[in-house]
Structure 1
């Protein structure tokens, strides 16, 4: 499965787990996300955006990286453009590094909706900033390898039917939840977590113990 890492302009805490998740991937940097590539010692194959957040100084190791410029006044974010570029290059799986945090809450929320849209096209997508991971959840089964003791919350982005959670401190069986329900908040993994939905969709957010 062709894996791409998209470096976004949110926060990022490098960790052994994150390095393992992006190992062997092809990297694309969206504007200020280039700083994460520098910290991880990775060379993107493309650097794109309107370059309003990257700063004027370009690290020497990135002088040879191809750049694609876009005007500031556009109808897509730099992150969305980076995802499109990855898909055009044959991406079959994506890791969005720096998907959370930073100054733009609207961008963080957009990244969640983009990940949901990708999942609906059968393209797995992990959102992460190294401390928090996000997993889109759709109808069907999802299996997640979370370290034991990891706190996680399942946030429905629609009404949910037939929610089953196993491998957690508080399991659920065939649970129905209205939009805004708190029943799947602040759970804790016991290892491999199994999530099943009969209808609806949402996002699972896991807070890692670093």
Structure 2
């Protein structure tokens, strides 16, 4: 398996878990995502984009990274182009770091939707901000090693059929979930979290890092 970390322009905090997830991966930065290279102590092998959001005062080692330059008026986002570059280099697994938040909610939505399409084509995808992470859910059964009390939601991108959730404060047993329903929001891990799905498109959104006190 060849894992690439894609540095995107959304929110990112460094955590021990994130350090483990990106350790030993190949790295490609998408435009402003180069700023996260400093945060994580990573050196990308490629920097992709139209370079309209380059952080100021980049250190010389990051400024010298090979670039793949695209025009500002194009049919794909910088993030999608960076992912395409990783796939061309043989990526079978992706860590999308900085996939959430930031100034562009449209880009964040694209990362969620694109992760589902990639997963359906056989690419493992993890979306992360350090504080929260997303994992596409395909039909079948999957288990997740989160600590008790971890907050999670299942985001539906279509009607869901035969959804079963065990190892949770509020389990579900082979239920139907209408697209746009809030039934699967704000649950908590209680034991070994396992999720089964007969059909539909969904994404597990978990908060493995403690949330700040409000």
Which range, TM-score by smaller chain? over 0.9
Partner of 1:164: 164
Partner of 2:65: 65
Aligned partners of 2:130 and 2:209 also within 8 Å: no
Q: State the shift of 1:61 in Å.
A: 1.9
Aligned partners of 2:154 and 2:204 also within 8 Å: yes
TM-score normalised per structure 2: 0.94
Cα pair distance change 1:7/1:191, threshold 3 Å = farther
3-state DSSP of counterpart to 2:188: strand
Q: State the shift of 1:58 in Å.
A: 3.0
Partner of 1:82: 82
CA distance in 1, matches of 2:44, 2:151: 32
Partner of 1:120: 120
Gapped runs of 5+ residues in structure 2?
Answer: none
Partner of 2:104: 104
Aligned partners of 2:132 and 2:209 also within 8 Å: no
Partner of 1:189: 189
Does 2:152 align with 1:152?
yes
3-state DSSP of counterpart to 2:149: coil
The answer to which of 92-101 and 199-208 deviates more is: 199-208
The answer to which of 21-30 and 60-69 deviates more is: 60-69
Q: State the shift of 1:73 in Å.
A: 0.3
Q: State the shift of 1:192 in Å.
A: 3.3
Q: What are the Cα deviations for residues 92-143 of structure 1, in whole angstroms up to 9, with x where unaligned?
A: 1000000001100000000001100100011110101111111111211122
CA distance in 2, matches of 1:71, 1:57: 23
Does 2:169 align with 1:173?
no
Q: State the shift of 1:46 in Å.
A: 0.3
Cα pair distance change 1:25/1:189, threshold 3 Å = same
CA distance in 1, matches of 2:82, 2:94: 11
**Alignment root-mean-square deviation, CA:** 1.2
3-state DSSP of counterpart to 2:199: coil
CA distance in 2, matches of 1:172, 1:25: 36
Aligned partners of 2:35 and 2:55 also within 8 Å: no
CA distance in 1, matches of 2:165, 2:46: 39
3-state DSSP of counterpart to 2:204: strand
Cα pair distance change 1:54/1:147, threshold 3 Å = farther
Q: State the shift of 1:146 in Å.
A: 1.8
Q: State the shift of 1:209 in Å.
A: 3.6
Partner of 1:2: 2
Count, aligned residues:
210
Q: State the shift of 1:166 in Å.
A: 1.1
Q: State the shift of 1:68 in Å.
A: 0.8
Matched ranges for 1:33-44 at <5 A = 33-44=33-44
CA distance in 2, matches of 1:62, 1:99: 21
